[in-house]
Amino acid sequence: TKLLVNNLVHIFNYIVVIDCRHECAGRKGKDTVYCVCNATYCDDLDPITKQPAGNVLSYRSSQSGDRFKESQLKFTKQSDHDNADRITLTLDKSKKFQKIFGIGAAFTDAAAINIGSLPKDMSDRVIKDYFSASGIGFSMARIPIAGCDFSTHEYTYDDTKDDYSLAHFTMPDEEIKYKIPQINLAKQVAQHGLKLYGSPWNTPHWLNDKQLLKTQPDKQYETWANYFVK
């Protein structure tokens, strides 16, 4: 954005295409080419680096087999193209929209269990492919608080009825065995840090009692708040 703001009207001059560090080992699928990734080989990318003024990096994937193919785009103020081929980019830096905090994915039970079912080297590789500089570099992750629509069974962290002290609050294997180790690895390999945020799918059912929400709302809401803190 800064590059474009400082150079309001530019023209692409030429494009240099650079292949990824380890090329895709292609396998033909029904409609497209898939990249093989196993215990002995996976493709990966060179880390993305800040470009000098006038340069932009572009990445392209395609059905024909390109996978994050890197192109270096060069900007100049002059163009030999006809007016019909000219592209004009105009940005108003005084007009701002929403702020992007990061791009990422969710550590759901389904994802964590499937990744955790792989051999250790492969499961670590999957996390690095998502979050490291040699992968796609995700910088944010959502963590479902307890079970969600991508869980193998319905649960919360406290399914003991009327446990307002949360004495029976506990995390199941989905969290301890799978999600927490994978999240810790993602935090270790994320080049620019990893923002995490929790999102509940549902409260414990006993906190959803409509009558109690009318007669004892403070007790219900306070317990739900303490559940978040835990």
Asked if 68 and 59 count as a contact pair (C-beta separation under 8 A), the reply is: yes
Let me know the angle formed at the C-alpha of 50 by 49 and 56, rounded to the nearest 5 degrees.
Answer: 100
- Nearest-CA neighbor of 203 among 145, 163, 162? 145
Asked if 167 and 159 count as a contact pair (C-beta separation under 8 A), the reply is: no
* 35 and 141 share one domain: no
Sequence-distant (6+) residues with CB within 8 A of 127 are 115, 182, 185, 186, 189
In-domain check, residue 95: no
* 55 and 132 share one domain: no
* 65 and 168 share one domain: no
Asked if 112 and 27 count as a contact pair (C-beta separation under 8 A), the reply is: no
Q: What size, in residues, is the chain?
A: 230
Token output for 101: 């905090």
Amino acid at 35: C
In-domain check, residue 18: no
* 109 and 61 share one domain: no
In-domain check, residue 68: yes
Q: What is the pLDDT of residue 82?
A: 63
How far CA 55 is from CA of 7, 69, 76, in Å, comes to 12, 16, 10
Query: What does the pLDDT look like over 62-111, one tens digit per residue?
Result: 877 777 788 888 877 666 666 666 777 788 889 988 888 899 999 999 99
The better pLDDT of the pair 208, 166 is held by 166
How far CA 64 is from CA of 26, 32, 42, 46, in Å, comes to 10, 6, 18, 21
Asked if 60 and 19 count as a contact pair (C-beta separation under 8 A), the reply is: no
Number of domains the chain is built from? 2
In-domain check, residue 212: yes
* 50 and 113 share one domain: no
How far CA 7 is from CA of 3, 76, 91, 92, in Å, comes to 6, 9, 9, 11
Token output for 154: 């319905």
Rounded distance, CA 225 to CA 90, Å? 47
* 152 and 53 share one domain: no
CATH code for position 123: 3.20.20.80
Query: What does the pLDDT look like over 170-222, one tens digit per residue?
Result: 999 999 999 999 999 999 999 889 999 999 999 999 998 888 888 888 899 99
* 119 and 218 share one domain: yes
Least confident of 35-39, 114-118, 220-224: 35-39
Domain containing 189 equals: 104-229
- Nearest-CA neighbor of 77 among 16, 14, 13? 13
Per-residue pLDDT band for 41 (boundaries 50, 70, 90) equals confident
In-domain check, residue 31: yes
Asked if 51 and 118 count as a contact pair (C-beta separation under 8 A), the reply is: no
In-domain check, residue 79: no
In-domain check, residue 84: no
Rounded distance, CA 200 to CA 208, Å? 14
Flag whether the pTM goes above 0.85: no
* 158 and 215 share one domain: yes
In-domain check, residue 178: yes
- Nearest-CA neighbor of 208 among 148, 155, 162? 162
Rounded distance, CA 150 to CA 33, Å? 28
